[in-house]
Chain A
Amino acid sequence: MKVLVPVKRVVDFNVKVRVKPDGSGVDTANVKMSMNPFDEIAVEEAVRLKEKGVATEIVAVSCGLAACQETLRTALAIGADRAILVESNAELQPLAVAKLLKAIATKESPQLVIMGKQAIDDDANQTGQMLAALLDWPQATFASKVDIADGKAVVKREIDGGLETLSMPLPAVITTDLRLNEPRYATLPNIMKAKKKPLDVLTPEALGVDVAPRLATLKVVEPPKRKGGGKVADAKELVAKLRNEAKVIS
């Protein structure tokens, strides 16, 4: 079974982002970039499926700048077999990425696409569901446990208030939640090996996909600052303040 794992290059989760003074966006120049953490979980899950003998080949895909090759090399170092970059300097919004991934899925015919539920930059939480819709495949979002057997996926997924278990025929799209697994660190030998693994570069034009943005970002501002820093000495003072000053408890 072939598994496709889309990965996104994002500002590292440890970086405190800065809004550009002109309000045009967030400053990403000279900022550490990494693989979106949820996508790392997806790569890890695919590698585990291969280790279990369920998956035979893992293809990592990324859409964006040439620099996304680094992200793909990370996926290869964790255990993907080969990679595809759909290179574009344009702003790629989730719907456009879903269309690019559909084109790749149509070429590659994977039985499973597994990807992060959300990217930590635009926080859209859309691409996996959109890809499933465009391919007319079933979807299992926010997965915390995945079992693949007999042409079916049984997925335990996080819902508000608990868990839900779905069963669906393959091919399907699964998006990962936090508790699915803990991704391994790539070892140095595997990082070296990853440099030699195949990485193909395509373009949206070659795939025949219109990636023009449908949403225009008019401005990006900092959220209003919260004035904090007040201190109290003990539990007694805290309760008194909550009762008499903040009036949030009776």
Chain B
Amino acid sequence: MTILVVAEHDKAALKTATLNTVAAAQKIGGDIHILVAGQNAQTAAEAAAHIAGVSKVLHAEAPRFAAPTAEAIAGLVVPLAPAYSHVLLPATGFGKNVAPRIAALLDVAQISDIIAVESQDTFVRPIYAGNAFATVQSKDTQKVITVRTTGFDPAAASGGNASVEQINVPAVVDRVQVLGQELTKSERPELTSARIVISGGRGLQNGANFKMLEALADKLHAAIGASRAAVDAGYVPNDYQVGQTGKIVAPDLYIAIGISGAIQHLAGMKDSKVIVAINKDPEAPIFQIADYGLVGDLFEIVPQLTAELG
């Protein structure tokens, strides 16, 4: 039994999500190979070779993988798939886009967003915004799986010594052109891998007030997130969104500021280790899951909190 993990990386380094995905592969058991497709991605391929428990790295090098489309990655993975019992991708924007395309081409029912491995064919996944956990068993001979990163502690990034094999890239003409990417530039840690996350909601009243959270985030080296309500209201870009349909986070500390706690928001953060809620409404549902609730005006409390942290 051999498992293929499709790596997510930014050429220079693997995304932490790749390590979480390898960890899920380790739970399933068997040999683990990892596919690194990219342009000038040697460094990422070498990093993959050092992950504990990985026995082989498949490195596919081509300009078309610089900003890979679902078609480009699926076109690469599908011909490799017969050698593998399981194909795993992280349940990130990247994996969610690509995995179902691979699954359908293999005629396999994908298992999305697993949070636990029960056996080689049985997995636990959240449904209904995490309000229920379903244990599902796959009847397909091959499995295509996306891994919820918060469900698995990352595999050790060092200790492995896998071989790196260059693989051929199918010669095809891409129908889909990537015209460009606009990435939010930030000095802050990435939302999904930050140890501390500070999120703002509708209570902040406008986008300019999010600046207030930045001072606090600077003190704590935290990432900044937002509720869907704040995104819908246009305060911040959509990639800040924490929730059922946004990013799923589970930091050591999650501070929800001016967020009432809609079900779909809770779905994205309720596995955080410690939750703090600051809200003026004492009845806000967020307080039911918060370890430390502070009822009051966030416009007074946030500056006080920032000052307290010295």
Interface residues on A, range: 35 or more
Secondary structure at chain A's binding surface: helix, strand, loop or mixed? mixed
CA–CA, A26 and B132, complex, Å: 8
Establish whether residues A238 and B132, one from each chain, have CB atoms under 8 Å apart when the complex forms: no
Establish whether residues A214 and B112, one from each chain, have CB atoms under 8 Å apart when the complex forms: no
- List the B side residues contacting A125 at CB < 8 Å: 96, 100, 112
CA–CA, A90 and B132, complex, Å: 21
CA–CA, A144 and B232, complex, Å: 12
Known: A235-B305, A241-B292. A94 touches B110 (CB 8 A): yes
- List the A side residues contacting B133 at CB < 8 Å: 220-223
- List the A residue with the shortest CB-CB distance to B308: A239
Within 8 Å of chain A (Cβ to Cβ): is B46?
A: no
- List the A side residues contacting B103 at CB < 8 Å: 95, 126, 130, 133
Establish whether residues A164 and B181, one from each chain, have CB atoms under 8 Å apart when the complex forms: yes
CA–CA, A225 and B161, complex, Å: 41
Closest approach, in angstroms, between the C-beta of B160 and any C-beta of chain A? Answer: 25
Establish whether residues A231 and B295, one from each chain, have CB atoms under 8 Å apart when the complex forms: yes
Establish whether residues A16 and B112, one from each chain, have CB atoms under 8 Å apart when the complex forms: no
- List the A side residues contacting B304 at CB < 8 Å: 234-236
Secondary structure at chain B's binding surface: helix, strand, loop or mixed? mixed
- List the B side residues contacting A221 at CB < 8 Å: 132-133, 135
Establish whether residues B132 and A17, one from each chain, have CB atoms under 8 Å apart when the complex forms: yes
- List the B side residues contacting A218 at CB < 8 Å: 122, 135-137
Establish whether residues B109 and A94, one from each chain, have CB atoms under 8 Å apart when the complex forms: yes
- Total A-B residue contacts, Cβ distance less than 8 Å: 256
Establish whether residues A160 and B231, one from each chain, have CB atoms under 8 Å apart when the complex forms: no
Establish whether residues B109 and A93, one from each chain, have CB atoms under 8 Å apart when the complex forms: yes
Establish whether residues A129 and B139, one from each chain, have CB atoms under 8 Å apart when the complex forms: no
- List the A side residues contacting B273 at CB < 8 Å: 248
- List the B residue with the shortest CB-CB distance to A219: B135
Establish whether residues B175 and A168, one from each chain, have CB atoms under 8 Å apart when the complex forms: yes
Segment of B35-43, B49-57, B65-73, B79-87 in the binding face: B65-73
Contact bitstring A158-184, B, C-beta under 8 A = 1, else 0: 111111111111000000011100000
Which of B131, B134, B135, B178 is packed against the most chain A CB atoms within 10 Å? B134
- List the A residue with the shortest CB-CB distance to B122: A218
Segment of B26-34, B206-214, B238-246 in the binding face: B238-246
- Complex A-B: 29 CB contacts under 8 Å: A13-B264, A17-B132, A120-B128, A123-B113, A123-B126, A123-B127, A129-B101, A132-B101, A138-B69, A141-B70, A154-B179, A160-B94, A165-B178, A166-B178, A166-B179, A168-B177, A177-B245, A178-B238, A178-B245, A215-B137, A222-B132, A223-B131, A223-B133, A226-B270, A229-B290, A230-B291, A230-B292, A238-B308, A249-B253
Q: What residues of chain B have their CB less than 8 Å away from a CB belonging to chain A?
A: 67, 69-71, 74, 92-94, 96-105, 107-113, 122, 126-140, 175-184, 190, 192, 196, 220, 228, 231-232, 237-239, 241, 244-245, 247, 252-253, 263-264, 270, 273-276, 287-296, 301, 304-305, 307-309
4 new A-B contacts, CB < 8 A, other than A125-B112, A126-B100, are: A130-B100, A159-B93, A219-B135, A249-B309
Q: What residues of chain A have their CB less than 8 Å away from a CB belonging to chain B?
A: 11, 13, 16-17, 19, 26, 38, 93-95, 98, 117-118, 120-134, 138-142, 144, 154, 158-169, 177-179, 213-223, 226, 228-236, 238-239, 241-242, 246, 248-249
